[in-house]
Amino acid sequence: MFKQILDPANNMFITWLVALVPVAALLFMLAVLRWSAWVATLVGSLVTLVLGLWVWHMPFDDGIRAYLYGSATGVWNVDWITFWGVMLFNTLVVTGTFDKLRRWLIAQATQDVRVQTILFAWAFGALLEGLVGFGYPWAFVAPILIAIGIPDLDAIRVAAIANNAPVSYGALGAPIIALAAVTGYPLLALSGSISKIVAILALLPPWILLYLVSGKKGMWEAWPLAVVGSLAYIAGQFPVGVYLGPYLPDVAGSIVCFVALLLLLKVWQPKQVRGYGGAPITGVAATEAHGLTAGDILQAWMPIAVLVIVVVAWTGPWSGLPKISLLTLQVAAASSISEGATITAAFKWTPFVGGSAILASWIIIALLLRVNGRQLAEIWNKTWTQMWGACLVGVFIFGLAYVYNYSGMAASLAKAFSSIGSAFIVVAPILGFIGVALSGSNTSTNAMFGKFQALVGQILGFPPLLMPTVNSVGAEIGKPIAPQTASVGVSTTRFVRNEGEVIRHNFLWTLFMLAYLIVISVACYWFFPGIAKL
């Protein structure tokens, strides 16, 4: 069995620098050269393979196997779920079902900008993130906010800040599925640990959103919206994330949030109706009617109901389907950190994973919506155009991550960073933040840094799940300043190809959220370590 080398340069500082090369090269290609993500991850994965063979003396045949097993894992565990998730979303758009849902929601809001912001940016944005991710919440929510009178740049910022908390569970849980794949930790355990941190994180954004659209006075006047909006989202996402897994926490959180907010508006509304900036609105006109029949409303919500029922029945702890495995391929190495422990690069073909549940949901929904051949071709072409690059990223980033872990590079980097000691609890969320700010992908950041964070935690004696958890949640926070996310998010506004101005506008509030997460991380480490134990 291949024995990993902890310090191949015989100088830990030099080894640390060399181990950083794949990470630095990948981020340089993405953030400075602005290469397409799939090209950057392809080149980065080849650089990682060469370093693993040359510097860490990884056997060639085992290294190639590790790369291939990683790529296969990326295709089956991540690409399979994100592709069918986007297929489902595009089906709703092409058939007009999504527009009916949007019109119905708009009709439920009052003319108050604070009500509209919490309903659309917070609740509706969480639903979009849970279904598709990839910056789509910005792209769909920002035009709605602009239409209700929020200036373009501020509308994008509101959509971006609202999108913080749901990101770990975006695209039907793809980031957490990736994290489980590279760390080897149980998927449900990671989902539950992340859910607890996200629940604390989610207490803050609704207050920020109210402040951004109406100022300090407007925020305090509308405090029930912030309280109900945050607690209702948590009430939906928390039990689903802890007990069912990473597929539907955002969807459940958004639905509970919608229901709670609409019930609140039946019994309470702000005394003073305010527009953007907190300006009072007098002579308020009635909200525009949605013009939908009861059948239209039922059709608008039906796909969400089908998705929830199928995925919960298919992937819940009572189901044996995800446990069925028909093929296991793996290669092992002796760990350079833990005597007697092994590091494995494995691909398990479990045909009934979460992506298969999404495929089954999509088939049922397509049949119920009576999708015809022309629509099906349009849906497929649209999805393929949007997703082929992202699918290649899944292939290459997982190949990179598996070789990085198997060769011993992750262990060497972890050993170097462990010299920081317990202060690493502050560094861990910052690394996740930097990773996604430059790569644009929570999934890729988890694949790249997940195992490294777990190894540092292991060396320092942290609760096992804490470092991977704060890495994933830190990556949530970096989304508003990620160029790739911004490029999708501004695609429906006048800031197309002007992502830099958007990123600068988002920057300070993003740092504020990062500071809040660091406080949460330190508090969990010192006072509540049990939330991140296996």
pLDDT tens column, 124-158: 999 989 987 777 788 788 888 888 888 888 998 99
Q: Cα(469)–Cα(42) distance, rounded to whole angstroms?
A: 26
The answer to whether residue 7 is domain-embedded is: no
Least confident of 34-43, 296-305, 322-331: 34-43
Phi, psi of 203 (to 5 degrees): -70, -25
Determine the angle formed by the axes of helices 170-183 and 80-94, rounding to 10 degrees. Answer: 180
The answer to whether residue 380 is domain-embedded is: yes
Joined together, the tokens standing for residue 531 give 């939330």
How does residue 288 score in pLDDT terms, banded at 50, 70 and 90?
low
DSSP designation for 429: H
The answer to whether residue 371 is domain-embedded is: yes
The burial of 88, by beta-carbon neighbours within 10 Å (0-12 exposed, 13-18 middle, 19 or more buried), is given as buried
Give the per-residue pLDDT at 497: 61
**Per the structure, how many domains does the chain have?**
1
Residue 342: strand pairing partners: 334
Q: Cα(183)–Cα(175) distance, rounded to whole angstroms?
A: 12
HEC per residue, 453-480? HHHHHHHHCCCCCHHHHHHHHHHHHHHH
For residues 284 and 111, the answer to whether their CB atoms sit within 8 Å is yes
Q: Which amino acid is at 466?
A: L
* DSSP notation for 98-158: HHHHHHHHHHHS-S-HHHHIIIIIIIIHHHHHHHT-TTHHHHHHHHHHHHTT--HHHHHHH
The answer to whether residue 97 is domain-embedded is: yes
pTM of the model: 0.87
The answer to whether residue 8 is domain-embedded is: no
For residues 241 and 249, the answer to whether their CB atoms sit within 8 Å is yes
The answer to whether residue 75 is domain-embedded is: yes
Q: 3-state class of 2 per DSSP?
A: strand
- For 245-256, what is the mean pLDDT? 94
Least confident of 304-318, 403-417, 490-504: 490-504
Joined together, the tokens standing for residue 145 give 């906010």
> Is residue 283's pLDDT more than 70?
no
Range from 112-116, 203-207, 311-315 that averages highest in pLDDT = 203-207
pLDDT digits (tens, 9 = 90+) for 15-26: 999 999 998 898
Mean pLDDT of the chain: 90
Q: Which amino acid is at 462?
A: F
The answer to whether residue 415 is domain-embedded is: yes
Q: Cα(278)–Cα(215) distance, rounded to whole angstroms?
A: 6
The answer to whether residue 3 is domain-embedded is: no
Joined together, the tokens standing for residue 484 give 């790739």
Domain that holds residue 411: 13-281+290-532
Residue 3: strand pairing partners: 334
